Amino acid sequence: MLRVKPFEAGIIKNEISGLEFLIGNEHYVIETQFITEVQHLQSLTPLPCTPAFIEGITYFRGKIMAVISLRKFLNLSENSLTNQNRIIYLSHEGLEFGVLADEIYGDITINGDLLQKEFHGISGVLKTILKGIDSDGRILLNAILLLNDESVIINDEV
């Protein structure tokens, strides 16, 4: 008897689970495995003698955490902070900080096999932390490269 394997519609072999969020008019995604938590922006304490993209520090789960503005880090147009902003806390191998988002869209699954991986017209910091762009134009950021970016790690003493 001949056995026919049923068609497996909708199965994604290289499935990437992420959190979709908005900065300006662009949709970004960070893989959920690197996200500790998402919170409303409540308060930030400015931190002197740090790069402009470091918005400040906040208290999170018993720790003082730096919060960076991806908007400033990626050299996008600036926007004022409101209580509608969210902080996405990232963590990987002992490195952790929060990133600001204008709005959270929610969990998403992306087919990693269909990501565009050649980027024309994209340069600067974004190109170094870009993992791919999906068919809907969502930009998947490489959280490991973002967390390990030398400009984000500050070890200077004042």
Amino acid at 36: T
CA distance 85 to 107: 17
How far is Cα 39 from Cα 65, in angstroms, rounded to an integer?
Answer: 13
% of the chain exceeding 90 in pLDDT: 35
Q: For 68-122, what is each residue's pLDDT tens digit?
A: 998 888 887 776 666 678 999 999 998 898 999 999 999 999 998 888 877 666 6
pLDDT of residue 49: 86
Give the domain 15-148 fold. Answer: OB fold (Dihydrolipoamide Acetyltransferase, E2P) (2.40.50)
Which sign, positive or negative, has the C-alpha torsion 149, 83, 60, 48?
Answer: positive
For residue 37, name the pLDDT band (cuts at 50, 70, 90): very high
> pTM to 2 decimals?
0.82
